[in-house]
Structure 1
Amino acid sequence: MFLDWLGGLNPALQALFGGTVTWGLTALGASAVFFFRKIEKHTLNMMLGFAAGVMIAASFWSLLAPSIEFSEQNGQIPWLAPAVGFLLGGLFIRLLDFVVPHLHLGNASEKAEGPPTKFKKSTLLFLAITLHNIPEGLAIGVAFGAAALGLGDATLIGAIGLAIGIGIQNMPEGAALSIPLRGEGMSRRRAFNYGQMSAIVEPIAAVIGAAAVLMIQPLLPYALAFAAGAMIFVVVEELIPESQSSGSTDLATLGLMAGFVVMMILDVSLG
């Protein structure tokens, strides 16, 4: 019943639905601020590791592997579009790092990246989380677009699985932003709003991703790999270093492995 309803929607609306689910799960994670004032560092490290594992697995099974498959089906050099799209995705996030001021979790305000700004620490932390939610939204949109085109093994249930996987890793991210803000003296309601609003970009990016591949079908292999490259850049530049920066490295690594396995199971079983 649900799949019939979702399958009857325009692919852009399907992508909007998927992005809204991940936003909602982010809000669910951010709601932890109403019950906890602080989060133990080892718990935060494990949560960040889990998020990294989900993104790594999604990058391969949900994005890069289909990109290679679609390139082969179109008679292209199998590795060319995936390689180009992957590198462009990383460069895109690097460009955003240059132009958007932001601050990674656990850092002092003086270590803010991007152009000089007078933004408060809370705003800089919000922007950092928002930046790496962009490729997640794009990935969801591209997956729904590929399912609508009926290319390769892309299916609606597979796109839903990707949205669920990304939503699961968004839950600890929402908590990882809202609870530290509460610990710095921000009100619970305001800290919650910062946490949940960091994912508002995901449904927007999802619609953009779906619309792009539907309007220009040959872009699909590039778009899939682009989202994968952007996600891997975020994992290597931000999530893994943050999860390993203050001890509890074993817990952070185990969290990463758990996240990887969860996303792998979701993708293989639903893809």
Structure 2
Amino acid sequence: MPLVVLGLAIAWLYSANPLSSFNNGAPPVENLTVERTILDQSGFRLLVRAGGSEPMKIAQVQVDAAYWEFTQTPAGPIARGDTAWISLPFPWMLGEAHKVTFVTNTGAAFDHEIPVAVPTPAVTSANLVAQALLGAFVGILPVAIGLMFYPALRGAGQSTMNFLLAMTIGLLGFLLVDTIEDALEFAGESAAIFQGPAMVVLAAAASFLLLMGVSRRGGRPSGLALATYIAIGIGLHNLGEGLAIGAAFAAGAAGLGTFLVMGFTLHNITEGIGIAAPILKVRPPLWTFAGLALLAGGPAVIGMWIGSLAYAPQWSALALAIGAGAILQVVIEVSLYLKRSDGRGSSMMLSPPVLAGLAVGVGFMYATAMLVKI
């Protein structure tokens, strides 16, 4: 019965059109977002997404305040939520800034800035291999280096263990804040139809609840299981970062110099130490360390490939939001594991080794993040 009433109400709304009495002649609400920009010898190619209340039609396109002929694929009005490629045979100049303005048939104008015109790199096997090598260098290698501290840390006493676990919480706490900040930034660049901030919150909450439910199926995780969850959380974070770096490659604006690459590497070394902390009391086989390094750092390579091939800001926001939820789950589990392993309960969280570990974890991540922020 409720569904029947709802169907009748919708049918009456479309047939009677009671909203027509509110029509004062104003044009429909329109919104246009540029999701991808490609520069090559033929000019500009821009992927746009419509977000208005009704299908919108691009009537004219300006480049630097001059009107230019353009080709739209597919042609015709762009429905709400749909995308179209706009091709402009504009003779752009290397290194110059350009401003593209889309004018709809209602007179609404939407601007898109190209700060520095550079050719978009073509997708080739050589480029994909180069991206994989860079992703391995900034993602897998530093995690593996951090895991190499495992033999030296095996003889650690309880105070050192508390310090290392607290340091893990500190570095994950910093990653959580940094991930949420980046996710909201990408969400602000996405089309309004995706409801960026709400998408970030909901995706993070869903990721947290799902991983929390999975981790508690066999009791509270510890040892290798806890290390695996730490690697998953870090891996999802690195996936989001890889998407952003891959998008920079696709835009021809990577700007990844040697100093910046080294900054990424130093920034991620502590992640390997954090993964090793829960397994210091066990002796897993060697392949386990290789698996943990790939789980935590490998997504950076995948993210670079996806970002360079099919980048859009909403996908980076979604990936980072999922990573934020995973990191929050790991922070809670490591905190509970720290309390259980020490045996002194909540009072232990205020002990000098724990406070020092939290400070070192946050401080190191903050200091090394200064090397990669541009």
TM-score, L = length of structure 2 = 0.53
Partners of 1:231 and 1:147 in 2: CA distance? 21
CA distance in structure 2 between the aligned counterparts of 1:88 and 1:15, rounded to whole angstroms: 27
Structure in which a larger fraction of residues adopt helix = 1
Q: Identify, as 1 or 2, the structure richer in strand.
A: 2
In 2, Cα distance between equivalents of 1:165 and 1:216: 24
Unmatched segments (≥5 aa) in structure 2? 1-126
**Runs of 5+ in structure 1 lacking a partner?**
1-6, 106-124, 183-189
Superposed displacement of residue 50, structure 1: 0.4
Equivalent of 1:239 in 308, 329, 334:
334
Counterpart position of 1:97: 215
Aligned to 1:30: 150
State the 1:211 CA deviation: 4.1
Does the C-alpha gap of structure 1 residues 205 and 104 become closer, same or farther in structure 2, counting only changes over 3 Å?
A: same
Residue 53 of structure 1 corresponds to 170
Cα gap change, 1:200 to 1:26, in 2 (>3 Å): farther
Query: Is the aligned partner of 1:126 residue 2:224?
Result: yes
Instruction: Write the deviation string for residues 249-268 of structure 1: whole angstroms up to 9, x where unpaired.
Output: 32213311221121122223
1:145 corresponds to which of 231, 240, 243:
243
Identity of aligned residues (%): 17
Shifted more, 41-50 versus 139-148: the winner is 139-148
Per-residue displacement from partner, 1:64-116 (whole Å, max 9, x unpaired)? Answer: 212211222235355223212322331342254256x58644xxxxxxxxxxx
In 2: Cα distance, 1:231 partner to 1:140 partner:
11
Q: Distance in 1 between matches of 2:315 and 2:247?
A: 12
CA contact (8 A) 2:139 2:296 kept: yes
Aligned-partner residue type, residue 199 of structure 1:
A
TM-score between both structures, scaled by the size of structure 1: 0.70
The 1:23–1:210 alpha-carbon spacing in structure 2 relative to 1, beyond 3 Å, is same
Letter of the structure 2 residue corresponding to residue 204 of structure 1: G
User: Is contact 2:242-2:299 (8 Å) kept?
Assistant: no
Amino acid paired to 1:234: V
Q: Secondary structure at the match of 2:156?
A: coil
Deviation at 1:234, TM superposition (A): 0.6
Question: Structure 2 CA distance, aligned partners of 1:160 and 1:140?
Answer: 16
1:20 correspondence with 2:140: yes
Cα distance in 2 for residues equivalent to 1:79 and 1:154: 26
Q: Which residue in 1 is equivalent to 2:282? A: 181
Are 2:358 and 1:262 equivalent residues in the alignment?
no
Pick 1 or 2: higher relative contact order, CA cutoff 8 A, min separation 6. Answer: 1
Give the conservation status (yes or no) of the 8 Å contact 1:85–1:225. Answer: yes
Cα distance between partner residues in 2 of 1:48 and 1:10: 35
Higher Cα Rg, which structure: 2
In structure 2, the residue matched to 1:222 is 318
Aligned positions, number: 231
